[in-house]
Structure 1
Amino acid sequence: MKWRPSKKWLKRIIATLILLIASVFWVDHHVASYSSPFCSSSLSDMPHVHVGVVLGTSPKLSNGQDNFYFKYRIKAATELYFAGVVDRILVSGDNRTVYYNEPVEMQKALIEAGIPKDHIHLDFAGLRTLDSMVRSKEVFGQDSIVVISQAFHNERAIYLARENGIKAWGYNAKDVSAKMGFKTRTREYFARCKMMLDLYILGTDPRHLGEPVEIPAD
């Protein structure tokens, strides 16, 4: 005879699922409401800061095609730099293997766009958005930054930064189409929930800190 859950247990399971789903959407709304006043796609909304932080991603997709998240972030970073909103660029990303190096790829693209190499600084330990934000202050000494990524990513980054005592604004790079970005946007719901756990329950620290790195004043 197969075991079947009682109506009481079914109600509990359904109630739990509803609560979990509601929590996911509440977190998403809370992060967006908190961060959106600090995020914009307009240069005139950005304060002048010394350093703009570009959040890492691969220049190519797994199928070998161009990654437009990457292209649009590079374009946004060059806009900020040549408009004089930021003096220096910090590229922060993953460098786990010799075959995958986000900071170096971003540096190459920024140099091709005309930004001097000595105005680009590399953070090889930006393994997660949390790491990139905390390291911008604890390792690279920046208390005020402009973060460069797509709007949905900036909202989470700004939340993380400001909860860690950093005055941060987000310059929103152009987003990809809804179809192309569906998986990424779906993952973002869960990334925001994980962020809440990291901040308020787990107390997660960056995987690597290390010695301070000076970004010269101009």
Structure 2
Amino acid sequence: MRRWRPTGRLVRWLAVTGLIIALALLAPTAWLGVTAAGHVYDPDGSPRAPVVIVFGAQLAPGGTEPKPFLRGRLDTAAELVRAGRAKAVLVSGDAHGSSGNEVSVMSRYLAAHGVPSRRIVADGYGRDSFDTCRRAHDVYGVRRALLVSQGFHLPRAVALCRGLGIDADGVAARCDGCQSWTLGFNTAREVPAGWKAVYDRASDRPPAVSSPANLEVAAALRD
């Protein structure tokens, strides 16, 4: 009995089909990368802006300390303020997150690392990247900002904030202590997150929680 083997034509068809599917899946990621091109920096080479926006992330067990991802973002934000590259920090995350009050921990950490408390503003309703950018613009009146997150997340963050009217540049945060598998998982996670970003921008949806205008960032920028 002859064993069936795929023909050359079938192999080529499968290869082309697989390539088309892969390109389609990665199209949003490519769009985000192109949109953010030229707007992502290392901390030492970052431009200046009035405000740093720090994107929230899960806390360590117990809910009182940041995990390495978040700690790296906060350390980078504190460095930017100390270096005079920004004056105020808007920490944005979920105040009722499954791991605890993200913005409360973020605020305390920054204050303990040299950022004056009067320069820190907390938005507890930044439940995802789109909401963080939308609320920063619509609620807090931010028009120019440095965005601090890890490199895998910055293209999406920059593209979303710039699309919502913020002149945003990204600053890549360290991730000391982050495990390789965690970095790999979060990098892969950007593919479906890219599709969500496309939907959010195309639908121009409101944030999960809408709030009236808040002048805390303006106050934090005053001498």
Q: Give the match's secondary structure for 1:86.
A: coil
Question: What residue is the counterpart of 2:74 in the other structure?
Answer: 74
Listed one character per residue, the Cα deviations across residues 190-210 of structure 1 (whole Å, up to 9, x for unaligned) are 10111112212x332211121
- Give the residue type in structure 1 aligned to 2:114: G
- 119-128 vs 172-181, greater mean Cα deviation: 172-181
Please list, as runs of the form range in 1=range in 2, the aligned pairs for 1:52-71 lying within 5 A after superposition: 52-60=52-60, 67-71=67-71
Displacement of 1:97 in angstroms is 5.4
List gaps (5 residues or longer) in structure 1: 1-11
Taking the aligned partners of 1:158 and 1:90, their CA distance within structure 2 comes to 15
Deviates more, 1:30-39 or 1:97-106: 97-106
**Contact conserved, 1:38 with 1:170, CA < 8 A, in 2?**
yes
Match of 2:130 in 1: 130
| 2:31 alignment partner in structure 1 | 30
> Which residue is equivalent to 1:85?
85
TM-score by length of 2: 0.82
Identity of aligned residues (%): 23
Aligned to 2:4: none
Change (3 A) 1:16 1:81: same
Amino acid at match of 1:211: P
Unaligned segments of structure 2, at least 5 residues? 1-12
CA pair 13-160 structure 1, distance change in 2 beyond 3 A? same
For residue 118 of structure 2, give the secondary structure of its aligned residue in structure 1: helix
Deviation of 1:60 after TM superposition, in Å, equals 1.3
Aligned residues: 205
- Alignment partners' CA distance in 1, 2:67 and 2:21: 33
Is the aligned partner of 1:173 residue 2:173?
yes
Counterpart for residue 205 of structure 2? 204
Residue in 2 that maps onto 1:193: 195
Query: Residue type of the partner of 1:155?
Result: P
Contact map agreement 2:90 2:121 (CA 8 A) in 1: yes
1:21 paired residue number = 22
The answer to whether the 8 A contact 2:51-2:89 is kept is yes
> Which residue does 1:8 correspond to in 2?
none
Partner of 2:8: none
- Aligned match of 2:143: 143
Letter in 1 for 2:143: D
Q: What TM-score do you get using the length of structure 1 for normalisation?
A: 0.84
Q: 1:178 to 1:33 in 2, by over 3 A?
A: farther
Q: How do residues 88-103 of structure 1 correspond to structure 2 at under 5 angstroms? A: 88-96=88-96, 100-103=100-103
CA contact (8 A) 2:59 2:99 kept: no
Q: What is the Cα deviation at residue 20 of structure 1?
A: 4.0
